[in-house]
Amino acid sequence: MAVLLTLAASLALAAPSPPNPSPAHPPSKPSPTATTTTTTTTTTAGKSTPFGMVSDKTYQNLVVAPHKGKVLLVNFWASYCLPCLEEIPALQTLQTKHVGSVDVVFVATDPPDSGEHVQRLLGRRHLKLTSFIVENEDPDPFIHLIDDVWQGEMPYTVVYDRDGRVHKKLPGAQTAATFEAAVLAALAVPATGSTP
């Protein structure tokens, strides 16, 4: 019996504990250089996935601006949100189908100190898309930057046209067909300066 208790205690200590998304446990402060820090996650397939920190002050420059000229779909998700995780394969397929004209970017809303957990999760899912984690200690400014009406429920998706303007907001879980329709509608909008 003592051997079993010792074995159980050893296994409990060795098991990784997931980050607690509860607001009762405030996240730690991000490092002062977090807004410019970008790392890569190596998936089990050996591919690198860009991963960085983003805030309400850096969102436009880090997430939206680099994709001007293409339709951009930004998916806000959390590692503890099952509907969010269920959308990942459809979004990766969408990116592959429209390579060159559509970019898909993931923004995790987990506490900022759970970046390693989020990166491991994305690596296990073989995600090959650019990903960020929100570094705001108080998520409200970031949430209201994205949508004044949005209360922060996950998942939440925003589709931008080729000029970086919001084309469509998709609150809640979506299907592959819904994502496809939103992207095709945004692709139909001519970019500024282009001829129809």
39: pLDDT strictly greater than 50: no
Q: For the chain, give every domain's residue range.
A: 51-187
| Residue 10: burial class (beta carbons within 10 Å; 0-12, 13-18, 19+) | exposed
Q: What is the pLDDT of residue 10?
A: 38
Say whether pLDDT at 27 is over 60.
no
Q: For 22-45, what is the mean pLDDT?
A: 36
Predicted confidence band at 35 (pLDDT cuts at 50, 70, 90)?
Answer: very low
Strands 102-108 and 130-134: parallel
Task: Give the model's pLDDT for residue 17.
Answer: 37
Q: What is the pLDDT of residue 128?
A: 77
Q: Is the pLDDT of residue 129 over 50?
A: yes
Residue 125's pLDDT band, with cuts at 50, 70 and 90, is confident
Q: Does residue 5 carry a pLDDT above 90?
A: no
In degrees and rounded to multiples of 5, residue 72 shows phi and psi of -120, 130
Residue with tokens 């601006």, as numbered in its chain: 65
d(CA 166, CA 187): 13
- What is the tens place of the pLDDT at every residue in 78-122? 999 999 999 999 999 999 999 999 999 999 999 989 989 998 888
Across all residues in the chain, what is the average pLDDT?
79
CATH dotted code for 51-187: 3.40.30.10
- Please write the tens of the pLDDT for every residue from 48-65: 456 899 999 999 999 999
**Would you place residue 44 in the very low, low, confident or very high pLDDT band (cuts 50, 70, 90)?**
very low
Cα torsion angle, 191, 89, 109, 107, sign? negative
What pLDDT, on a 0 to 100 scale, did the predictor assign at position 19? 36
Q: pLDDT per residue over 150-190, tens digit each? A: 999 999 999 999 999 999 999 999 999 999 999 999 999 99
Q: Is the pLDDT of residue 73 over 90?
A: yes
